[in-house]
């Protein structure tokens, strides 16, 4: 009896990872696109609580512990006057002593490619390098969506800074997104 039980246990451990890998690789509806986030200091983004240590405030750094809030337009092109496709609103807290990293929480409201709704993001943002943020929820046409968003700096000069936001969204098989 013991050898037979060992055989089934071994078979079970071999099949579980194979099934999980297969489900995550095939058959998911996906949506991939890029938008541009335009943040203007003291217009769409504000320091609410100044930090306590580290570098001074600049386009790329804030002191450790700085609480920053934003409600930024998302456009189809790097030009801030291009067509509006959504809004990114949220908060970030400078979590790196060098002033370059922040813990970020955002709700991104979208109206793109026949999809309307919002996605929620949480992650660590590096102000001068690309950063990946996991999608932790969604509403409307993005209900049950999974994936990640990559934020990359495009222009960090002047009062308005621009980031390229690349969306990589996937719907699980049990979700019913718009066709």
Given this model, what pLDDT does residue 48 score? 96
- Which of 137, 167, 164 has its CA nearest to residue 151? 164
3-state secondary structure of 132: strand
What does the block give as tokens for 119?
Answer: 């996605």
With cut-offs at 50, 70 and 90, classify the pLDDT of residue 179. very low
- Give me the helices (H) in the chain, please: 2-25
User: 0.85 cut: is pTM over it?
Assistant: no
Write down the residue that tokens 């996937």 correspond to.
170
The string of pLDDT tens digits covering residues 99-157 is: 999 999 999 999 998 999 999 999 999 999 999 999 999 999 999 999 999 999 999 98
What does the pLDDT look like over 46-82, one tens digit per residue?
999 999 988 998 888 999 999 999 999 999 999 999 9
User: CB pairs under 8 A, 24+ apart, for 84-87?
Assistant: 85/35, 85/110, 85/111, 85/112, 86/35, 86/110, 86/111, 86/112
CA–CA separation, 101 and 130 (whole Å): 11
Does residue 79 sit in helix, strand or coil? coil
Q: How confident is the model at residue 13 (pLDDT cuts 50, 70, 90)?
A: very low
φ, ψ dihedrals at 63, nearest 5°: -60, 150
Phi, psi values for residue 8, rounded to 5°? -70, -35
Task: Please answer whether residues 179 and 31 qualify as being in contact, where contact means their C-beta atoms are separated by less than 8 angstroms.
Answer: no
What is the rounded CA–CA span in Å between residue 109 and residue 79?
19
């Amino acid at each position: 009896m013991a050898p037979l039980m060992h055989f089934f246990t071994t078979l079970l451990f071999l099949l579980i990872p194979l099934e999980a890998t297969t489900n995550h690789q095939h058959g998911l509806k996906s949506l991939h696109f890029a938008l541009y986030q335009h943040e203007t200091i003291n217009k769409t983004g504000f320091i609410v609580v100044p930090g306590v240590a580290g570098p001074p405030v600049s386009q790329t750094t804030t002191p450790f512990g700085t609480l920053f809030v934003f409600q930024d337009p998302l456009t189809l092109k790097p030009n801030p006057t291009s067509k509006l496709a959504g809004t990114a609103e949220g908060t970030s807290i400078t979590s790196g002593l060098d002033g370059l990293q922040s813990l970020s929480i955002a709700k991104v409201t979208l109206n793109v490619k026949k999809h309307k709704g919002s996605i929620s993001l949480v992650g660590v943002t590096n102000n001068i390098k690309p950063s990946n943020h996991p999608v932790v929820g969604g509403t409307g046409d993005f209900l049950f969506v999974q994936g990640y968003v990559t934020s990359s700096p495009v222009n960090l000069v002047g009062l308005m800074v621009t980031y390229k936001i690349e969306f990589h969204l996937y719907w699980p098989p049990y979700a019913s997104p718009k066709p």
